[in-house]
Structure 1
Amino acid sequence: MTLQKLFLTFFGAGLSPKAPGTAGTLASLPVGLAVLHYFGMETLFMLTFAITIIGIFEINKYENLTGEHDQQEIVIDEAAGMWLSLMIASSTAATMSYPYADVLAIILSFAAFRLFDIWKPSTIGWIDREVKGGLGVMMDDVIAGIAGGFLTVVIMMGVERLF
């Protein structure tokens, strides 16, 4: 396996025979949590920014090489989206006063990101259909990650009102 394919499949997670997007998201979650815990939000943000920019260029090269757009094995976009959702949710969980807010943030950020990534409503779907190349592959997941993070925040704020 080439270094490029290792990067684009998030260390092979995208090669899963079933649900490669979910496998890529699940594989990226513990990495994001570890970076968040040991190095902080700023580092995870910079890592997300870096893999998004690098991902756009590497996906363009890979698509030119294979002749196919948005292949299922490419899951580096899921990592970027998951990490954005996680950062938004975690920063809100830190302000919550109820127990297990951080655990709820992790679970909900994963579920909400997958919801928007699979459903692809509104702008997310338009980007997925109309924007070609690496930019389209990465940006629909970046927007899905932001939307997933915001949905998680709304749910967590609702839960806090119950307690």
Structure 2
Amino acid sequence: MLKKLSLLSAAVSLTFISASALATDPITADIRLEAIVPTSDFQVSPVDQTTTSLKQQLRWDAATEKFFPYQAQFNVKNSKAVKVKLANADSDKLTSGNKEIDLTIKFNGKALSTTATEVIGAVAGGGNQIKKYPLDITTDANKSTAAGTYSGTVGLVFEVTTP
């Protein structure tokens, strides 16, 4: 009887040991969220949300040996004039190591720099409508540009003018 009890005890112990050996560490996931509640008279958002949430690609045109322009649309609701500027001096270039490609960035047809430029005028009687405005990013890079994978971030800062 004692021998059977010892065998049963050993079997139960092995079961607990093997069960704990098979246990895995918990898996965690962090989800980064941001919630922006705009004012009632000033709102800016891309028409296609992937414009700002995913990496965009300047596509190469093999026929002209240049890049196609990148174009996006932004929804803007405003009552005061809207100014846009590049977030920093590197917002108008792509880099690959020590190589650079200069970009020309226009919003509503107006070239942008690190100095705020008025791109949309004030709306008489208040801005209750959302309108679409174009963002265009182009480059003069061509076949003479050094080969490589270039990347960068075009940071835009939208602001309304103060009276």
Structure with the greater alpha carbon radius of gyration: 2
Q: TM-score, normalised by structure 2?
A: 0.27
Higher helix share: 1
Higher strand share: 2
